[in-house]
Amino acid sequence: MTSVEMLAKNPGASFLANAQASLTKAAQALNLDPNIFALLRTNSRSLIVSLPVEMDDGHVEVFTGYRVQHTTARGPAKGGIRYHPSVSLEEVSALAQLMTWKCSLVNVPFSGGKGGIAVDPRRLSENELRRMTRRYTYAISPIIGPNIDIPAPDMNTNERTMSWISDTYAIIKGESNSEIVTGKPVSLGGSLGRIDATGLGVAISVKEVLKRAGKPMEECTVAVQGFGNVGTWSARHIAEMGAKIVAVSDISGGYYNPDGLDIEAMADYVKQSKTRTLEGYSTPGLSTITNEELLELPCDVLVPAAMENQITEANADRIQAKFIVEGANGPTTPEADAILQEHGIIVVPDILANAGGVVVSYFEWVQGREGFYWTVDEVRTRLHHFMEVAFDDMYTFGQHRNVPLRQSAMMLAVQRVADAVALRGIFP
C-alpha cells in the first residue's frame, strides 16, 4: 500500500501529517533548537483504552478510547473529547498538538490534550452513552485531574457528557471536584457564556480581520460550512455584528440565499427537527446546494466550521471568498493553503479563530477554583479582550516578519512553548 493510499484509508494520519508539517515549517522559520523541536514533535503521553459496555439488550460491545497529552510545558493539558467513528490515535494526536498552539497563542496557562472514542453516538441510547462515558472516565482517570489534564466537550459531546465525567471522577476520587472538566452545566459549576464561546471567538476574528482590511461588517457577505454548535453560534454572532449570512450547511446539505438567511429561524428548525439537521428546511428565495458548492460561493468571508481537510488542492483554486476564518480544526490542507496565498486570500487560522472555547474554559476553570462566578457580560467582555489581544499579537508578529497569518500564529505559539521548555529544562 502506498503512502497516499494509507492516508486515504486513515484521514487521521493525513491530519497528523498536516499538523507536523505546520510545526516543522514554524520551527525552521524560528531556527528552533533541534532538541526542543524533537520534543515538540512527540506526545508526552498517549493512552489507548478498551471500553466494554453492556448494551440495552444485554450484549457487550467493546469500544476503543484515546486520551493524548501533547505537552504540559505551559500548564495542565486541556482539550475536548469527541465521539465519532473516525476517531483514531493519529487524529487525537494532531488535535492535541493544535490545542498546545491554541492555548499558547491566546496566552492561557494550559497545554494541549485531546481525547475521543471511536463510536457512532447516534447508534447508542442515552443509557448506553452514559455507561460508555463513565467507563471511559474510569479508564482515563489515572492521567486526568484539575492540575494534570482537563477535558471539555468536542464533536458529539456536550454539557451532559461533562456532567457524567465529573460525577464519575468524583466517585472514583471520593471528593467533589468541579474543575476536572469544563463545559459543564451552569448548575454544576459551569460558566455562563461557555456554550457560544467558540462561535463568538470566530465572530470576533471575522471582525478583527475585516477591521484591518478596512471593510465594514455591514457590507460583507458570509458563508458558514457546518451548522453544529460552532457554526450556528458563529453565524448568529456574525449576523449580530452586521454581516449578511448568505449560506450555511450541515450533513443534510447546503442552503443558499444571496439576499441573506434568517439564522434564528434555521436554528429553531434544527431544534424541532427529528434529525436535528436542516433537512427539509425551506423558505422563499432559498436554494439547496452541496457542502462542496458552499465552499466555492462568491462571498467576502468563508467560515469552514465542520470537519478537517475541507479545503484541499482539489478545490482551493475555486474558492471565491476574500477571507477565510477557520471555525473547524484543520479545515485547510497545507497544499491548499499555498494556493490560497497565491490568490491573495487571507486566512485566519484555526488556532486563533476557534480559540474562544478554550479561553472561556480557562475562565470556567478559574471560577471553579475560586468558587466565585462571573456574569455573562463579564465573561464576554474578557473573551473579547483575550481574542483581540491575541489577534493583535499574531497580526503584529506577522507584519514584522512579513509572513501570512497562519505562519505568524504558528511561529508565535511555538516560540512561547519552546521558551517554556527551555526555561524548565529537560528532566532529569
pLDDT (tens digit per residue) in 401-422: 999 999 999 999 999 999 999 9
The residue written with cell numbers 482537563 in the block is: 150
pLDDT (tens digit per residue) in 279-310: 999 999 999 999 999 999 999 999 999 988 89
DSSP for residue 59: -
As a whole-number percent, the residues of the chain with pLDDT over 90 amount to 89
Please, is 268 exposed, middle or buried when counting C-beta atoms within 10 Å of its C-beta (0-12, 13-18, 19+)?
Answer: exposed
Domain edges within the chain: 43-179, 197-353
Which pLDDT band holds residue 9 (cuts at 50, 70, 90)?
low
Find the angle CA(222)-CA(195)-CA(308) to the nearest 5 degrees: 55
Whether the ω angle into residue 428 lies within 30 degrees of 0, i.e. cis, is yes
Find the angle CA(418)-CA(423)-CA(427) to the nearest 5 degrees: 95
Is residue 56 within 8 A of residue 127, CB to CB? The reply is yes
Task: Residue 35: count other Cβ atoms within 10 Å of its Cβ.
Answer: 11
Angstrom distance (rounded) from CA 100 to CA 394 = 16
State the number of CA atoms in the 13 A half-sphere of 86 facing the CB.
14
Given this chain, do its domains 43-179 and 197-353 carry the same CATH topology? yes
Enter the C-alpha cell of residue 253: 446539505
The catalytic site residues sit at 114
Of 102, 152, 90, the C-alpha closest to 417 is 102
pLDDT (tens digit per residue) in 161-173: 999 999 999 999 9
Which fold does the domain 43-179 belong to in CATH? Rossmann fold (3.40.50)
What CATH number does domain 197-353 carry, 3.40.50.720, 1.20.58.340, 3.40.50.970, 3.30.460.10? Answer: 3.40.50.720
Which pLDDT band holds residue 330 (cuts at 50, 70, 90)?
confident
Partnered with residue 64 across adjacent β-strands are 50
Q: Can you give the pTM of this predicted structure? A: 0.91
DSSP for residue 145: B
Q: Amino acid identity, residue 354? A: N
pLDDT (tens digit per residue) in 238-249: 999 999 999 999
Q: What is the pLDDT of the chain when averaged over all its residues?
A: 94
Q: What is the mean pLDDT of residues 6-31?
A: 81
